[in-house]
């Protein structure tokens, strides 16, 4: 195998090994955020003890067998030394088991207890082979203070004093032991060093642990606030859907009179043909067929109006679709007409087709009807209502200008015109929700609306919506019998 390929294979193997080790360390089921900072380190420490302690003991016995000039312990001391090593190794294995079961603090506590017991046994047996300046008590203090907290640190220090006292008594009672004063001096010196280390760990870890606790508390508060915010967003969306539906019903109610007039015309035509059925029969079958065609045309016109009202007024789930805004506007013209009396002129300027946008079509229609209703209220004596439709090719935006010749509005009113429940109408004549719904609909569709107005000079609402490419794969929406041409719209 080429050397480059061999090194590449080794690198891949090392990455896989480290990835498995990292996954093993991170899958410990510990929920406390503070404990999660230490669990990986303790897992590595446990694993190191499981491997290193038996390895060192095995190396010691191998060296003795090979005749190395090492200190030879008495049989009892050998048994105690081997027993403490086995105890530490077993405690490390048990610590791994407890940590993997989610009992992290218990695993650390039992491991520290075993270290203290082993230290006491070694201290009471001067013949045992343990390193000079045994760091076990200092390791125990550091782990207790860092992982288990302040109270555990000082409880461990008290336990360590007891262990040192027992060790001093065991050393002083052994044959050929040094004087009691010498033993006591050594143990007092170790106790003072341990006290200094405990104070340093305490003063170092207390602020860090307090900061971690405060951070954890703030994290819980933030999670609670996020949950409340998510709930408020859901409630706001539900309220907005309900508001849009209410606005639809209000618009349907306002155009009901005009629709009734259209239905009256349709019925009069059909009744007229029915009243002259005898005369039609005398003129022969061609006259009857012509009359039946006219009756069918009028019935389709009535059906178109009723379907349009039903589709508009029902409470649908908001569904974005790509549609031609110009065509939708021209199809909505008969309903817009119902808001105004005979003294108001309705004008639509712009192309009849070719301006595609993507949003909920019902909301687009509701927006236009709300603007028309607002214009009708501003022109009680009649006037002109005009909608200019166009496109900003450079910014790829649909432009829609809705203009009336009403009484206009002051600067103060213009600044607050889109606020919910803000209205200048008398009590009982307006909810203040129509223009607010227009603003919300356009914001959800990534559009915008501004208003230009002065008192006595009418108002112009400028709407902008992103243009989009027509989706030819999307099924066409039923048009309820409406026929559209480039030059005119007919029912």
Verify that 458 and 327 share a domain, yes or no.
yes
Determine the Cα–Cα distance for residues 75 and 160; give it in Å rounded to an integer.
27
Residues in the chain with pLDDT < 70? Answer: 1-27, 33, 68-76, 125-133, 174, 176-177, 240-241, 243-270, 272-273, 275-276, 280-281, 294, 297-298, 300-318, 426-433, 471-491
Residues 371, 257: one domain?
yes
Q: Which of 177, 200, 230 is the last residue of a domain?
A: 177
Domain that holds residue 39: 20-177
Please state, in angstroms and rounded to a whole number, the distance separating the CA atoms of residues 153 and 139: 11
Same structural domain, 257 and 172: no
Pairing mode, strands 383-392 and 489-490: unpaired
The answer to whether residue 185 sits within a structural domain is no
Choose the final residue of a domain: 177, 196, 228. Answer: 177
Are residues 260 and 166 both part of a single domain? no
Q: Is 121:84 a contact under the CB 8 Å cutoff?
A: yes
Q: What would you report as the CA-atom Rg of the chain, rounded to the nearest whole angstrom?
A: 44
0.85 cut: is pTM over it? no
- pLDDT for res 207: 77
Is 444 domain-assigned? yes
Other beta carbons within 10 angstroms of residue 79's beta carbon come to: 11
Flag whether 57 is in a domain: yes
Q: What residue has token string 């914001």?
A: 443
Buried b / exposed e across 7-33, counting CB within 10 Å, b at 16+? eeeeeeeeeeeeeeeeeebeebebeee
Question: What is the rounded distance in angstroms from the CA atom of residue 330 to the CA atom of residue 324?
Answer: 10
C-alpha span between 297 and 295 (Å, rounded): 5
Distance CA 91, CA 97 (A): 10
List, for residues 387-418, the tens digit of each pLDDT value.
Answer: 999 998 888 999 999 999 998 888 888 888 88
Tell me, yes or no, whether 3 lies in a domain: no
User: Do 376 and 280 fall within a single domain?
Assistant: yes
CB 422 within 8 A of CB 432: yes
Q: Answer whether residue 405 is part of any domain.
A: yes
Q: What is the pLDDT of residue 491?
A: 26
Spatial separation of the C-alpha atoms in residues 306 and 257, rounded to whole Å? 13
Total domains in the fold of the chain: 2
Contacts of 347 (CB under 8 A, 6+ apart): 384, 385, 386, 387
Last residue of a domain, one of 131, 150, 177: 177
Tens of pLDDT, residue by residue over 440-481, are 889 888 999 999 998 888 999 999 999 998 866 555 444 433
- Distances in Å between the alpha carbon of 234 and those of 219, 245, 430? 22, 17, 27
Residue 64 lies in a domain: yes
CA 135 to CA 174: how far, in whole Å? 23
CATH classification at residue 338 = 3.30.565.10
pLDDT value of residue 257:
55
The pLDDT of residue 489: 30
Is residue 268 located within the same domain as residue 416?
Answer: yes
pLDDT of residue 385: 93
- Are residues 370 and 484 both part of a single domain? yes
């Amino acid at each position: 195998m080429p050397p480059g390929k061999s090194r590449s294979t080794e690198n891949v193997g090392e990455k896989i090994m480290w990835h498995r080790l990292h996954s093993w360390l991170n899958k410990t089921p510990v929920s406390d955020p503070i404990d999660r900072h230490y669990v990986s380190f303790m897992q590595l420490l446990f694993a190191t003890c499981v491997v290193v302690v038996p390895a060192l003991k095995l190396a010691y016995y191998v060296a003795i067998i090979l005749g190395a000039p090492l200190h030879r312990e008495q049989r009892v001391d050998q048994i105690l030394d081997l027993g403490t090593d086995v105890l530490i190794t077993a405690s490390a294995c048990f610590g791994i088991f407890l940590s993997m079961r989610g009992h992290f603090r218990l695993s650390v506590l039992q491991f520290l207890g075993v270290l203290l017991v082993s230290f006491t046994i070694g201290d009471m047996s001067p013949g045992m082979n343990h390193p000079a300046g045994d760091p076990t008590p200092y390791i125990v203090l550091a782990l207790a203070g860092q992982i288990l907290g302040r109270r555990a640190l000082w409880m461990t220090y008290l336990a360590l004093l007891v262990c040192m006292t027992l060790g001093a008594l065991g050393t002083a009672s052994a044959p050929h032991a040094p004087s009691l004063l010498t033993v006591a001096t050594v143990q007092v010196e170790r106790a003072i060093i341990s006290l200094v280390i405990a104070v340093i760990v305490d003063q170092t870890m207390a602020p860090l642990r307090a900061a971690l606790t405060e951070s954890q508390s703030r994290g819980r508060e933030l999670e609670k606030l996020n949950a409340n915010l998510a709930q408020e967003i859901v409630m706001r969306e539900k309220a907005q859907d309900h508001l849009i539906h209410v606005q639809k019903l209000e618009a349907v109610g306002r155009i009901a009179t005009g629709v009734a007039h259209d239905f009256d015309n349709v019925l009069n035509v059909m009744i007229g043909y029915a009243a002259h059925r005898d005369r039609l029969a005398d003129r022969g079958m061609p006259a009857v067929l012509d009359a039946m065609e006219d009756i069918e045309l009028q019935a389709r016109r009535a059906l178109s109006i009723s379907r349009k009202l039903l589709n508009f007024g029902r409470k649908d789930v908001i569904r974005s679709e790509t549609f031609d805004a110009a065509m939708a506007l021209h199809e909505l013209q008969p309903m817009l007409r119902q808001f105004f009396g005979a003294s108001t002129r309705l004008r639509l300027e712009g192309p009849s087709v070719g301006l595609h946008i993507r949003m909920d079509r019902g909301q687009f229609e509701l927006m236009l009807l709300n603007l028309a209703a607002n214009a009708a209220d501003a022109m009680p004596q009649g006037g002109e209502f005009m909608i200019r439709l166009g496109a900003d090719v450079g910014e790829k935006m649909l432009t829609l200008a809705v203009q009336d010749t009403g009484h206009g509005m002051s600067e103060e009113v213009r600044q607050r015109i889109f606020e919910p429940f803000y209205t200048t109408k008398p009590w009982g004549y307006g909810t203040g929700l129509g223009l607010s719904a227009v603003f919300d609909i356009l914001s959800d569709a990534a559009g915008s609306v501004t208003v230009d107005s002065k008192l006595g000079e009418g108002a112009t609402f400028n709407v902008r919506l992103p243009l989009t490419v027509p989706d030819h794969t999307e099924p066409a929406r039923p048009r309820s019998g409406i026929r559209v041409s480039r030059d005119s719209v007919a029912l």
